[in-house]
Every structure is written in structure tokens, then in C-alpha cells.
Amino acid sequence: MPTPSGFHARRAALRMLDAVLRRGETLDQALGGATQDVRKPEDRALARAIANETLRWLVDLDALIDSATAKPLPPDAKPRMVLRLMLAQWLRLDTPPHAVVATGLPLLAGGPRRLAHGVFATLTKREAGLPDQPSLPAEVAARWQERAPEIARGLAEPPPLDLTLRDPARTAHWASRLGGESLLPGHLRLPRGSAVEKLEGFAEGEWWVQDLAASLPARLLGNGEGRNALDLCAAPGGKTLQLAAAGWKVTALDMSKRRLDLLKANLKRTGLAASTVRADALKWEPRHSFDAILIDAPCTATGTARRHPDVLHRIHPRQIAEMAELQTALLERAKDWLKPGGTLVYAVCSLEHEEGEERAVEMDVPLAPILDAELPETLAPTSEGWLRTDPGMLPDHGGLDGFFVARWRAPSDFR
């Protein structure tokens, strides 16, 4: 029997799902191996979309499957894995049921196809549906507590495309040219699905892709006027580009050669300048102190669940504790590299208090509270003077990633 069209994309999606749920890999890590026999870019994109939507709605997909089986299937049983993919295609990607069956059941070659077909047929006849927002895994909902319902609302759809402009003075120009919405100077939001490399201004380096929330930490350092700034854990470089465009003399440090190469490519495309250093921030010693330090620290990245729903299923207390320990070590080292009067900004794209608020209260440098005027009109600092964003915020504008940001300023007699 010939292989049905689209089968390879579905098999790649199944491999990605298995890599995330069974081995704890990220979707990015799983993508290369899972799609090695998928030749067309559009089929690779489809495989990623199927895996993304399956993971986004996994709890609710499982509830549908369980409602149509006399005996619950084991969580890692292959029929359940395949049914998850089939339902995600039908309910989230609007794939016709006959096409779902034709490309899904061959994934169970030599296995219980009749069971999977029967469950899927039962649910389609029942005209089953998904709730308005995805249900969170119980462990995740318990961690996020009262914030969980609002965050879940923000996870229902993949995010739009955010751009940071090299020249904020040209915001109106690029909003007109690209047909986007701007939520603050230097920012532009376009509908998801835009082909980045084909957009006007990309080749000329007029902008780079960066979520609105991710662009806020660098903005809190203001204009550089030729002063020295350190971007710690800098790659792939969105914040380095922001600092360079704002007039800072930037040292960008990261330990990953691959990610630093991306940073260098972005610098070349935009025509911006920064000194790059490949080193471990916990061992590196700078030659001089800095007027500003930005730490976009390694973290669990649970705040990026809109675009990386795998974090909902592979991040657990052990990973959170490990990241919190690393973040404390980075803050302790970096604060000693500040000049008197220098400013330190700490940010994580995490929704976990252990990586945000609990790290901020440990700092013994005076806080420089974040002000309302420094943020988009729809956002506000916390009562402590920090910034906390959640995916459920800005619901009328497409949401934003979850971030925690805090800022400190060294006194004039520092050290």
C-alpha cells in the first residue's frame, strides 16, 4: 500500500511528541531528528504545528479520548499518542476527518488501528469540541495558583509576530509599510504566519524579531551615550541589538558558539556593533566595570508557553530549583562588576516565582523601581517596583510572553 501524502509530517509530529513527553526534550531539540526524512519546508512546518497544538491542548485532548474509551489508555500508549495528534489536527488545524484518518492510522501499522479509528469516529459523530482555553496540567496549575486561569487564557492561540525596530523614530513609517500595530515606540506587531525573511526591511536590518515582553528589559537601561554595557547570556542577541541601537558600547557574552554565531549574523544584518565574548559567565573576569549590566538569565522559559507549549509538560520543580541556583550565582557575580552609580537589570522569561520574585529579594543593591512611564500604557509595575508580565495580559492585542524584570542602581560609594 502506498504511503499517503502527508504521512511523513505526521510521523515527525509523533516523534516530537514522544521526545517531549517521554524524554523531556524541547521541541527545538527534537525537531532536527524528527524531521530528517521530511524534505519540504511546508511539511516540516506542518509537523511542528501539529506537535505544538497537541501539546497546547494535551490535557483536554486526553479528556476527550478518555470519554470515548471503556478503559483508559496508558499515558504513553501509542494509540493515545496517535489519537492526540489526530484530534489536534481536526479540532485545531481544521483538517477534514477523512484526511486525519488517512494519515493518522498508518502510524499504528501492526498495532490497534481499529481502536484508534473507533475512538476518533465516536468523537467526530459526537461533534466533540475543545473548551475556550486550554486546561493546564495539574502540577502547573498548582504552581501558578491564582494566576493560572488568566495565563491559560493567553495560551489558547499561538502568538503574533513582534518586531523591534532599529530606529524607534521610524515606528509610524514601518507600521504603515508593513501594516502592523505598534504598542510603544520601536515596536511593531504583525499577524502570525508572516514570512519573516520576505518582509520589507529584513535584509536591510531595519528590525529584528523579538516578543514585546522580551524587549522591555533593555529599554529600562535608557540611552547609552557611549557608555559601557554588558549583556550577560546575550545570544541570540535581541537585547544586544537594542542596547547597541540605543548608543551603548556593548560587550555581549555567551558560552554557546552556535548562538553567538546567530548574534554576529544579526549584528552584520543590522549594521550594529558589539564586542562578542565566548565564555562561561560564572568563570569569566571582565577587564573593567560597567555602567550597565543586563542579565537575561538562563531559565525554565515557562513564560514562552504560547510559542513553546512543551514547557507545560517537561518543566518540574527540579529544573526550577536548578535554574534558581544558577540565577543567584549570576546575580552575585554581576553586581560586583557595576561601576558606582551603575544600573543592573535582571530578567527571566519564566512564570515561576522562584526564578523571579524570590531572586529579586536576595539582592543587596538599592532597587531602582520601574516606573509606569517606562512601560506600554496597558502594563504597570508591581507594588515592589518590579515588572511581571503574563501571557494573559493584553488580551485585545494578542498577548505577550511571561517575564519577570527587576532593576537596581549601585550607590555612588558602591564598594
Summarised one tens digit per residue, pLDDT across range 315-351 is 999 999 999 999 999 999 999 999 999 999 999 999 9
Asked whether the predicted pLDDT for residue 1 surpasses 60, the reply is no
Cα distance from N-terminal residue to C-terminal residue, the chain = 75
Cβ of 4: how many Cβ atoms within 10 Å? 15
The ranges assigned to domains in the chain are 7-125, 160-210, 212-409
Instruction: Look up the CATH architecture of domain 160-210.
Output: 2-Layer Sandwich (3.30)
Which has the closest alpha carbon to 250: 225, 267, 230, 272? 230
Summarised one tens digit per residue, pLDDT across range 166-178 is 999 999 999 999 9
Over residues 42-68, the mean pLDDT reads: 96
Say what the alpha-carbon torsion angle 157, 121, 118, 2 is, to the nearest 10 degrees: -80
Which three cell numbers, joined as nine digits, stand for 391? 501571557
Q: pTM of the predicted model, to two decimals? A: 0.94
Element (H, E) at 406: strand 403-409
Place of cell 531595519: 206
Question: 212-409: what fold?
Answer: Rossmann fold (3.40.50)
Catalytically active residues are 349
Summarised one tens digit per residue, pLDDT across range 85-138 is 999 999 999 999 999 999 999 999 877 899 999 999 999 999 999 999 999 999
Please indicate whether residue 405 or residue 75 has the higher confidence score (pLDDT): 405
Domains 7-125 and 212-409 share a fold: no
Greatest Cα pair distance, the chain, in angstroms, is: 78
Which has the closest alpha carbon to 196: 181, 208, 213, 206? 208
Crossing angle for the helix pair 97-104 and 7-23, to the nearest 10 degrees = 70
pLDDT band at 413 (very low <50, low <70, confident <90, very high): confident
Check the CA dihedral 201-202-204-208 and report its sign.
Answer: positive
Residue type at position 181: E
Element (H, E) at 86: helix 78-92
Residue 294 per-residue DSSP state: E
Q: What SS3 state is found at 385?
A: coil
Over residues 11-37, the mean pLDDT reads: 94
Summarised one tens digit per residue, pLDDT across range 239-262 is 999 999 999 999 999 999 999 999
Cβ atoms of residues 79 and 73 within 8 Å: yes
Summarised one tens digit per residue, pLDDT across range 214-233 is 999 999 999 999 999 999 99
Place of cell 544584518: 269
Say what the alpha-carbon torsion angle 192, 194, 195, 198 is, to the nearest 10 degrees: -150
Q: How far apart are CA 216 and CA 288, in angstroms?
A: 26
Instruction: Look up the CATH architecture of domain 7-125.
Output: Orthogonal Bundle (1.10)
Kind of pairing between the strands at 249-254 and 228-232: parallel
Crossing angle for the helix pair 27-34 and 7-23, to the nearest 10 degrees = 140
- E strand spans, 255-366: 275-278, 290-296, 338-348
Partners of 334 in the β-ladder: none
Asked whether the predicted pLDDT for residue 193 surpasses 90, the reply is no
Q: Would you state the pLDDT for residue 414? A: 61
Residue 347 per-residue DSSP state: E
